[in-house]
Structures are given as C-alpha cells and as structure tokens.
Amino acid sequence: MTPEDFADAANREMWRQDKNMLVLKLWSDSHQRTPIDLFVYEPFDFKAEFAQAVRMEVASGLAAPFVTRKTLMEMKRVAGRPQDLTDIAALEELQRMSENSGHDAI
C-alpha cells in the first residue's frame, strides 16, 4: 500500500466495508515497539474528542493527545476482535480499581 492508496477516500471506504478496517498500523524499523494507528475513518467527533483529550508526554518535551477512556472502550466494542474484548475487560478492571482507591488509574 502506498500513501496515495491510503489518501484515496474510495479505497478507505472499501477497506472499511470489505475488511471491517478501522485503522492502518504503521511502525518504524527503528521503533517497532511504538506503532502508530491511522484511522481509515473518524469513528468519533474529532473536534469534541480533541478538546477533551488527555495529553501525556511521550518523549522529552513532546506531548500527544489521547482519546478518553469512554471513547477508547467504545471503539474497541465496535471492533469486537478478541484482543479488543480482552482490552475492554482490563480497562473495566482498572476503572473498578480506580474507583475503589479514589485515584484515577487511567
């Protein structure tokens, strides 16, 4: 796949319909443990999510926005893959632990 293939809206819609594709995962040979997911389509209201995004430092002096826990869990429910369901269970357990301890776990 080329960047031009990904930039083509018709291709992305075909991948979404035919392959149930939500994201395209990219990684650098130098940084294989830190992949980046590019959304094939926006599964949420981007402006609203960006406004309430949690920003965390991912490298010295570099902060990145992250979707809310609620949005992440909804995306994983929609995807419904076995790993997503496992992730949801882990996120729900972290939420319970957070509520019981009075601290925000994530």
Q: What is the largest CA-CA distance in the chain?
A: 49
Q: What is the pLDDT of residues 96-106, one digit of tens each?
A: 998 888 766 55
Condensed to tens digits (0 to 9), the pLDDT of residues 61-84 reads 999 999 999 999 998 998 888 999
Find the helix packing angle between 82-101 and 69-79, rounded to 10°. 150
Whether this prediction's pTM lies above 0.75 is answered by no
**How do 31-39 and 23-28 pair as beta strands?**
antiparallel
